[in-house]
Amino acid sequence: MRKVLVTAGASGIGKEIAAAFLSAGDSVYTCDINRTALDAAARELPGLRTGLCDVGDRKQIEAMMADAVSQLGGIDILVNNAGIAGPTAPVQDVDPDQWEAVLKIDLTGTFLITKAAIPHLIASGHGVIVIMSSAAGRFGYPNRSPYATVKWGLIGFMKTLSMELGEHNIRANAILSGAVDGARIQKSVKAGARLLAFR
């Protein structure tokens, strides 16, 4: 039985990842910013352990990691899924505060959680780190500069992790998914359509 931590697993891709690990017989803990969604996921997925956490807050990350390790008895696999979509706008119209918010959650949040998990992954002896990047991290997306930037950054972070942690028998990989139907992508598609309508 592997011990798995999935960030932002109360809904969407994260919940499906958590469900897949649970169905394989693994022990799974997921954190999310949405308590209502966490409670619903726990009811839907028996055995799922949960904790509230804003990955943009260092103290909350520290508390969540301690709780996850306590409940799981360690960590074998870390799935960095947490992230926000950010604004849909050309670069010259992007609000700097929105830019910084995307970097804080998607990039720095992933760094902080991974940093906190590394000692436990080393102790595992066969640790795995999965980072959810995006096709935007390979090709870029017009009108989505903050999102594309962090997804490229996550690939660089993953490559560095694989080089640093290989000696500890830790594997690091990134998944570059395309569009997945859900509330977030629908919001982005609608915002993009509005931009095109005003041209």
User: Would you please indicate which residues are annotated as catalytic (active-site) residues?
Assistant: 147
Q: Please report, for residues 39, 125, 194, the alpha-carbon distance to residue 115 in angstroms, rounded to integers and kept in the order given.
A: 27, 16, 39
Q: Nearest to residue 133, comparing CAs of 100, 98, 106? A: 106
Q: Which two tokens stand for residue 8?
A: 């932002």
**Helix (H) and strand (E) counts in the chain:** 8, 6
Q: Nearest to residue 80, comparing CAs of 35, 120, 128? A: 128
Q: What is the dihedral of CA 169, 170, 171, 177, to 10 degrees?
A: 170
Q: Nearest to residue 8, comparing CAs of 55, 56, 72? A: 55
Gap between the Cα atoms of 172 and 170, Å rounded: 7
Gap between the Cα atoms of 119 and 151, Å rounded: 25
Angle at 161 between CA 50 and CA 79, to 5 degrees: 20
